[in-house]
Amino acid sequence: MHTFNNGIRIIHHQVPSRIAHCGLFINRGSRDEKPSEHGMAHFIEHLVFKGTIKRKAHHIINRLETVGGEINAYTGKEETCIYSSFLKEYFERSLELICDMIFCSVFPEKEMAREKEIIIDEITSYRDTPSEQIFDDFEELVFRASSIGRNILGTPVNVKRFTREDVLKFMINNYHTDRMVFSSVGNIDFRKVLKLTGKYLGSIPENRDPGKRIPVTGYQPVSKSVRKRTHQAHCIIGNRAFDLHHRQRMSMVLLNNILGGPGMSARLNLALREKSGYAYNVESHFTAYSNTGIFSVYFGTDKERLSRCRQLTHREFIMIRKTRLTALQLNRAKRQLTGQLTIGWENNENLMLAIGKSYMLFNRVDTLEEVQRKIEQITADELLEVANIVLHPDYLSELVFY
């Protein structure tokens, strides 16, 4: 780990692989947009691929593709990331390209106009997929009146009116050097990483963030049904949950995994799919943000089975709120979560993204052993306490598309 004088932080993990991965994280996303800027962070993510001071769009794409590498990006509610995968000998090529895209993009008007149409088409396509749209609409319901509730893509009206000056202003106001982290994983000596990142990142002019994000307050549970004329009914039930720094966050992670995690043995999957055959897809999600969080359960089912699926879901909530896990059940749940996390870290691209985000948020990275110790410390009483906070019926919100 290293921090340059301008505030940009570097983290590297050396692994015995010929393939390397790296990415530049910026602790800014759609949450940090003003209402008039809704969709701007995602728009910029597209635009940095469209030309820099020394490269046209096709040069950016070909820079890594011609040597078998890949470059990609994503925008979240609270972060933006440009990342790449490549043969380790092309580390400098990849680093230089990412830095060129972030710090030297020129945002040609012709490319901006073309990209606006692509994003508007993306928004329209997304709205035609209710099983995806319902998640964004639910966050808007739960976080109404807060920027974190707005969807990442923006609206066609906003996207159409963005100008080059708007883009540059957003980047100046949000792309602060002390909110940037460069993460890499590969069989590269850290001294080389430090030398090259110093060359391309250490000289970036300092631009530190003077403020903090506004806290999210004022939650009121709400139930809403929206007629979509879909074949299936889609339903989300959930509540606000713990933020990234909450002492019970890891307990919430474990509770979420027990209820509706990726395993077929998750309680909601057993209740709604395996035992009843009412829903093909049922899952739960817990997302922790910097000063708030959200938990939700989603299922899609035939409309005539919607009521029964609701009942079964609430029954599982009651059971996990009222019944303390046995020692055997708790140990099994802990082993399952630990195994899932370990498998995820075996993928070096996932590892690069995970350590980069962790260093960006906490200025540290826990080892797998440290994470496992935190999981082992969770007690059945703590899980019961968390379940009664997050799954209390008086605080649950619901959104249905039918």
Residue by residue, DSSP assigns 361-387 as HHSS---HHHHHHHHHT--HHHHHHHH
Q: What is the pLDDT of residue 338?
A: 95
- The whole-number average pLDDT for the span 204-209 is 94
- Rounded (10°) angle between helices 91-103 and 190-200: 30
Domain 2-200: CATH class, spelled out: alpha beta
Spatial strand order in the sheet of 180-186: 2-3, 9-14, 180-186, 19-26, 80-87, 70-75
pLDDT exceeds cutoff 90 at 26: yes
What's the pLDDT at 311? 96
Does residue 139 contact residue 182 with C-beta atoms inside 8 Å? no
DSSP states of 244-283: TT-TTHHHHHHHHHHHH-SSTT-HHHIIIIITT--EEEEE
Task: Identify the pLDDT of residue 73.
Answer: 97
Q: Which of residues 200 and 128 earns the better pLDDT score?
A: 200
Q: Is the pLDDT of residue 72 over 90?
A: yes
> What is the average pLDDT across 107-120?
95
Predicted model pTM: 0.91
Mean pLDDT of 334-355: 95
Backbone angles phi, psi at 346, to 5 degrees: -70, -20
Are β-strands 223-226 and 397-401 bridged in parallel, bridged antiparallel, or unpaired?
Answer: parallel
Q: Which CATH superfamily is domain 223-401 in?
A: Metalloenzyme, LuxS/M16 peptidase-like (3.30.830.10)
DSSP letters spanning 68-119:
T-EEEEEE-SS-EEEEEEEEGGGHHHHHHHHHHHHHSB---HHHHHHHHHHH
Is residue 91 predicted with pLDDT exceeding 90? yes
- Measure Cα distances from 178 to 84, 104, 175 in Å: 22, 18, 9
Is there a contact between 34 and 173 (Cβ–Cβ < 8 Å)? Answer: no
**DSSP three-state, residue 62:** helix
Query: What pLDDT score was predicted for residue 232?
Result: 92
How confident is the model at residue 367, as a pLDDT? 92
- The answer, yes or no, to whether residue 179 has pLDDT greater than 90, is yes
Residue 54: predicted pLDDT: 94
Question: Which residues are CB-contacts of 27 (< 8 A; sequence separation ≥ 6)?
Answer: 78, 79, 179, 180, 181, 360, 361
| Mean pLDDT, rounded, for 170-187 | 97
Mean pLDDT of the chain: 95
Query: Could you say which DSSP state residue 189 is in?
Result: -
By percentage, how much of the chain surpasses pLDDT 90?
Answer: 93
pLDDT of residue 128: 84
Determine the pLDDT at residue 211. 84
Over residues 117-145, the pLDDT tens digits come to: 999 999 999 888 999 999 999 999 999 98
First to last CA, the chain: 50
Q: What percent of the chain has pLDDT over 70?
A: 100
pLDDT confidence of residue 40: 98
Higher pLDDT, 95 or 217: 95
Q: What does the block give as tokens for 44?
A: 């910029």
Q: Where are the domains of the chain?
A: 2-200, 223-401
Among 101, 93, 94, residue whose Cα is nearest residue 45: 101
Span 190-206, average pLDDT:
96
CA dist 183 and 81 (Å) reads 10
The answer on pLDDT for 154 being more than 90 is yes
Rg (C-alpha) for the chain, rounded Å, is 22
Domains 2-200 and 223-401 share a fold: yes
Q: What integer pLDDT is reported at residue 228 of this predicted model?
A: 87
* Residue 229, pLDDT above cutoff 90: no
Q: At what angle do helices 91-103 and 57-65 cross, to 10 degrees?
A: 160
Q: What are the tens digits of pLDDT across the range 209-228?
A: 988 898 898 899 999 999 98
Whether 176 has a pLDDT exceeding 90, the answer reads: yes
